[in-house]
Structure 1
């Protein structure tokens, strides 16, 4: 979902004192934009051939496809994506936009400076993170119909180490089947599992190893408000 900073050596035709063609190194194309657009005119010594100097044209800098996506949805050119702009960049297999709650969750996870927006560095991390979840989604999409059924959802939860009763799995599945189709799209699969993991992490802070916890009301409210 960063270009190499190494220096390439591209042969450019120049004249040596012996009259033979010698390779002349130039910098990587990414560094050329910091230099004059055209090479400094070459003036050969009088005793040498007056054959005109010819330089190889500058190679185009490599294009980052992910930055193109980022720029295309950064409508105000601020260098940051709002929730609405980020939603324009993220779609499911059926071309539907991500659920607003999933977008809110992504910003909460990757907005490292608390601006409420996502810059390009944060966007790259977010994109790679979703790529990892996509691998999990495709792993459990056993019939390859680009959605997760109840049985597939149950299998995913078991694989992640959660041992829930069938009734609770059905309840949780129906909660995230927000479109009422009897299936969960990629964005809602991500939302369900991230929320589940966050709640589990909060639970583990108070669990003494018995699988049950005692928690004060203030602590409970703190955890609930943090998860929102």
Structure 2
């Protein structure tokens, strides 16, 4: 085929190479290469570009440490190549190439997943030249030695795909995924005070009215009590708690194992409930009675649960709706299940705080 014929039939050429070394005949110079596989998942890690600050920080984050200057230079040279995976394979299912790119931020002395406020107050040090709907976006950079965070994103939030990020550096660079280690910080169970507050006296009167002399209530009665109290609470726009939620509350708080809640157990639970309500209201930014699933990481951390991306994605899939919103009833169920699982784990992890051994009965 002549070059003129080639120009008639083709309008774009993509030159593929495994590494920059493949373009050179000399073997004297070799690039250092690190590869990171990741995913943008709707509702948890598909935050879109910096234009969408409220969700941008939830994107996957890769730490990049540049330690050695180029020979005879003051800076470190590297190439960042971001590739979206399997889009051609998925084309027959209607998938198109997404518009992708990345930003690079200086982050000295910072570990763990960076939050919204970091990106609010820190400008990027470098970025891909453009966001474009190509299979791969790559650029060459020169930056001073130091610690950086690279944030790969789609242009729009809520767009789902797998990606591969490759870092090529002239000198050895250290990279790692910035994901949270799973950690649990549960407060010790509260002991009810013998002195009842005015609020507790009102609860007791309502409790006695419903439970009778035994002062114990089942899930159906608990549903009535909790919803009656929430309706009288100012600044709360929650829908009624479901019967399933009330059964889960009893499973968490019922120490006697009779499937009912005593008043003393209800008092302990209500202290938890007030804390969880305040956390939910804190992250219900538009006061709509729902919370964005992208804020779930921060909300759970405020409640004592630091989760990694994988666990967060599973929870979002379970508890958020199609608009990536979480109602208080679902948030409550999530916290109850997490606390139940955490307390069981803590009870069984006597020798090792990271692992437990279970027999079939357990």
Query: What is the TM-score with the length of structure 2 in the denominator?
Result: 0.36
**Partner residue, 1:138:** 281
Q: Which has the higher helix share?
A: 1
Please say if 1:111 is aligned against 2:111: no
Alignment partner of 1:125 out of 259, 268, 278: 268
**Partner residue, 1:70:** 207
**Partner residue, 2:175:** none
Question: Counterparts of 1:139 and 1:148 in 2: how far apart (Å)?
Answer: 9
Give the unaligned 5+ runs of structure 2.
1-194, 231-235
Q: Cα deviations across residues 144-182 of structure 1 (Å, max 9, x unaligned)?
A: 3222211111222344452421x64233123123x6663
Q: Cα deviations across residues 116-167 of structure 1 (Å, max 9, x unaligned)?
A: 21222222222222112222222332333222211111222344452421x6
**Partner residue, 2:60:** none
Do the aligned partners of residues 131 and 70 (structure 1) sit closer, same or farther apart at CA in structure 2, a change above 3 Å counting? Answer: same
Do the aligned partners of residues 85 and 181 (structure 1) sit closer, same or farther apart at CA in structure 2, a change above 3 Å counting? Answer: farther
Out of 151-160 and 82-91, give the one that drifted further: 151-160
Give the unaligned 5+ runs of structure 1.
5-62, 223-228
Q: Which has the higher strand share?
A: 2
Q: Cα deviations across residues 57-103 of structure 1 (Å, max 9, x unaligned)?
A: xxxxxx922223323443x6653211110011223644633233321
Pairwise CA RMSD of aligned residues? Answer: 3.3
Do the aligned partners of residues 140 and 207 (structure 1) sit closer, same or farther apart at CA in structure 2, a change above 3 Å counting? Answer: farther
CA contact (8 A) 1:99 1:188 kept: no
Do the aligned partners of residues 201 and 79 (structure 1) sit closer, same or farther apart at CA in structure 2, a change above 3 Å counting? Answer: closer
May I ask how many residue pairs the two structures share in their alignment? 156
Please say if 1:162 is aligned against 2:162: no
Question: Counterparts of 2:281 and 2:219 in 1: how far apart (Å)?
Answer: 26
